[in-house]
Chain A
Amino acid sequence: MNYDYNLSAIAVPLILAAGSVLVLLTDVLLGKKAKDSAYQTTLTILALAGVFCFTRWGTGGSAFFGQVYTDGFTSFFNLAFLTVGFLVVLNSPNYLIRNGIDHGEYYMLILLALLGMTFMASAGDLLIFFLGLETMSICLYVLAGFHKSRAKSNESSLKYLLLGAFFTGFLLYGMALVYGQVGSTNLAEISNYLAEAANPLGGYMGIGLALLLIGLTFKMAVVPFHFWSPDVYDGAPTPVTAFMSTAPKAAAFAAALRIFYHPGIELGIPWENVLWVLAVLTMTVGNFAALAQTSVKRMLAYSSITHAGYLLVGFLASNELGASGMLFYLFMYGFMNVGAFTIAYLVNRRGKGNYNLSDFAQLGTKSPMLAALMSIFMLSLTGIPPLAGFFGKLYIFSAAVQEGYVWLVVIAVLNSAISVFYYLRVMVMMYMREGEDLADLEKAPTVAITAVICGLAILIFGLFPSPLLDLARASIIALL
C-alpha cells in the first residue's frame, strides 16, 4: 500500500499549527516578564511560513491521497493569507493594549484562522475544505467578540456565530447531496463527473451545488446573504475587521475556484443566470448602502460587499484572464483594506470613537503622510489608474467582456462610478474641510509602518502589475 503522507506538501499549515501552540506556550511561560513575547513569536512564525511558502513554490501534484494540492494556486493564496496575517498582527498591539485586551490567545487564534484558510485554498476534497472553513470560522467568531467588555463586540460575535452555524447547514447539506450523486467527496472525481455527465446539473447535483454555493457566498458576504457583515465588521475590534474583510473572503473565493472552476465544462444557463443576478445585486446593494454611511468603518464594511460583487463578475467570466484577475484583485484588496482600516483606527482616536467621517477633517495639514496614504487606499479602492485596484478591475472586467457579458460590465463600471462619491468624500474631508478642535494624532509606529507597507505595495504593483499577474496566471493554469 502506498502511504501518501508527504509532509512537505503541507509545510505552511504545519508551521502555522506548530506556531500556534508555541505562541500559547511562550505567552504562558514568558508573558509575565516580556509582555510582547507572543506578538514577536507570531511575527517570526508568519515570516518563517512566508519564506517557506516562497522558496518552495508549488509545482503541482497532490498529497494525502489527493486531498491536498501542492500547486502554484495553493502557494499564491498561502502567500496572500500570510501577508494579510502579518500586516494585521503587526498593527494589532496598539489597539489591544489600549483596550486592555492584550492577550496571547489573540495571536494564537489568528494563526489558527490562517491554518484553516490554507487548507481551504489547497483542498482537494470537500472534507478538507469543510474542516478548513470551520477552523477559520470558529477563530473568527471568537476574534470578533474579543473585546468582551464592549456590547457591540459581543453582538458582532453572536450574530456571526448564529448565522455562520445556520449557513454551515446549507453547506453540509449541499455536500451530502453532491457526495450522494458522485459517490465521492474528492474534487478531482467531482470534476470528472461534471465533465462526463450528459447533464452536469442533473439528478441531485444541481441542488447540491446550489446549496454549496449558498454556503460559500455567505462567507464572501454576497447579497442576499450579506446581512451579517456590516454589523459584524462594525462591532469587531478594528484589526480583526481588517482581517475578516480580506483573508476569509480570499479563502472563500479560493475554495469557490477550486470547486466550481472547470473551464470547458458548461454548467448551463440557469447557473450563469444565478451568478449574474448575484453579482449585480451585490455590487449595487453594497454601493447604495455605502453612500448613506457616516461611519467610515461601516462605509468600508459595505464597500467590501461591493468588491465581492466585482469579484463575482470575474468568477462568472471564469476564463483564464478572469480567474487570474481575481487572484490579483484579492491579493491587492488585502493591502487596500488593511491599510484603510488601520488609518481609520488611528484617526478615530482623534474623535469620540465612533469612526465618524468628520474625524478626518484637516488630516491633510495635521499629518500629510497619513492623509496621502489614505488617499492612495481610497483611490485604489475606487479603481483609479495607476494604482493596483485599477488593474484588478481592468483584468476582471475585460475578461467578462471577452465572454460576452457586456451588460454586466456596464453595470459594474456604473457602480464603480457611484463608488467614487463615498471614497472621495473621505479625501474631501481630509483636504478641504475645516474641522472642530480635534485631538492630535498619537504616535503609533507599528500602525504607521503597516500603512506605509500597504501604500507602497499598492503603488509598486500598480506601476508594475505584470509580475504579480503572471504569477496569478501561472497559478490558474496549474489549477486546470
Chain B
Amino acid sequence: MTPIPEDLLREAARQVLGALVRRGADFAAAEDAVQEALLEATLKWPDAGVPKEPAAWLTTVAKRKLVDAQRADAARRHREANAALEPAAGPTEQSDDTLLLLFLCCHPALSPTLAVPLTLRAVGGLTTREIAEAYLLPEATIAQRISRAKKTIADLDLSGRGDPLGSSEPDKSQVLRVLYLIFNEGYTAGDRVDLAAEAIRLSRLLHAASPGPEVAGLLALMLLNHARRDARFDNGTLVPLDEQDRTRWDRAMIAEGVDLLQNALAEGRHGEYQIQAAIAALHDDAQASDETDWTQILAWYDELCQGTHNPLAELSRAVALGEVDGPLTGLRALDRIEERLTDYHRLHAVRAHLHERAGNTKEAAALFTKAADSATNEAERNHLLKRAARARPE
C-alpha cells in the first residue's frame, strides 16, 4: 500500500479539469468526470502505485468517464469528447486553465453560497465531504449547492467558452471576493479542513496565473492575518490583538506578505485589499501593542473610507482615530455612522472601548454587555462579556 500524497491529487484534479474544459468539454460534465477519476485513483493507486504521470492517467480516465456519460445520455452525444490522449499542457496553459476555472466558478451569476463550494471542489480539489465538514453542514446540502452551481453555469451563454477571459483585462473582483469569503470562514478547530489555508493556496494560484496589485494585495492581506493565527486563539478563547503573544506570530509569513504588498503598492493603483493589507502590516510591524503606528493606520483608513464609504471601514477608522486624537474624537466619529449600523454589536463594542479609554467605566460596561447581547459569534460574545465584567466599576 503506497499512500497517495494529498496535494498531488488535488493539483492534478485542477489541471485535468482545466485541460478538459479548455478543449471544449462541458464544465458540469467534466467536473463530474474528474471527480469519478479521482475516486478511481484513490481506489487503485494505493495498490498499483502512483503512475509516473498522474495528471495524464487522470485525464485518460476522466475522458473515458466523460464519453461513458455522454453515451448514456444520447442528447449530449454531439458534444462527445475526444478520447485520444493529448500531450500534457505546459505551465502557461495550466495557468490559463486555472484562471478559466476560477472565472467559471466565481461567475457573477452565482451567489457566494454556490460559488464558494464549487470553487473549493473544482479548483481547490476538496471533496464534497471535506467542504461539508469545513462548513459544519450536511454533505447532501453541499452536494446540492454544487449541483445547483453547475446547473447555473450550464445555463449561462458562454459562447466561446473562454468568455470570462475574453477581455484583455478581465474583471477579477468577483474571484477576489469569493476567495476572501473562503478565507474569512477559515478557522482551525480540530481536524477540520483549514479554509484559511485553502484560500491562501487558491490565491497563490490566482496570483501565479494572473498577477496584479489587488490580487497581490488580497494574498498579502491573508498572509498578514494568517501569520497571527496561533496567537489569536488560546484554547478556543479569542485573544484580542493588543493582548496577543507577538513571539507566536509567523515572521516568515509576515515577511512574505510585506514583500508582496510593497511590490503591489509600488504600482500606484491602490485598492481595498491593498489598503487593508497595509493596515494589517502596520499591526504586524509593532513589536508591542503600544508601539503601533496608529497615525499611519489612520491615514490608510482615511483612504479606505474615501474609496468605499463602507460603514464597517468607518467603524474601524473610529478606533484608529481614538488612538490618534483621543477617545472623545473617536466617539464623535461614531455618531456619524450610527444610523447606518443600528444595533450592530461591533458598533456597541467600539463605543464601549472608547468610553473605557475615556474613563467612563459605567457606560463602557453597559455597552459591552449590549454588544454581547447582539453578537452572533460565540467566541466574540464570550470575549465581550469578559470585557464588560472587567470594565464594571468596583
Verify that A and B bind, or say they do not: no
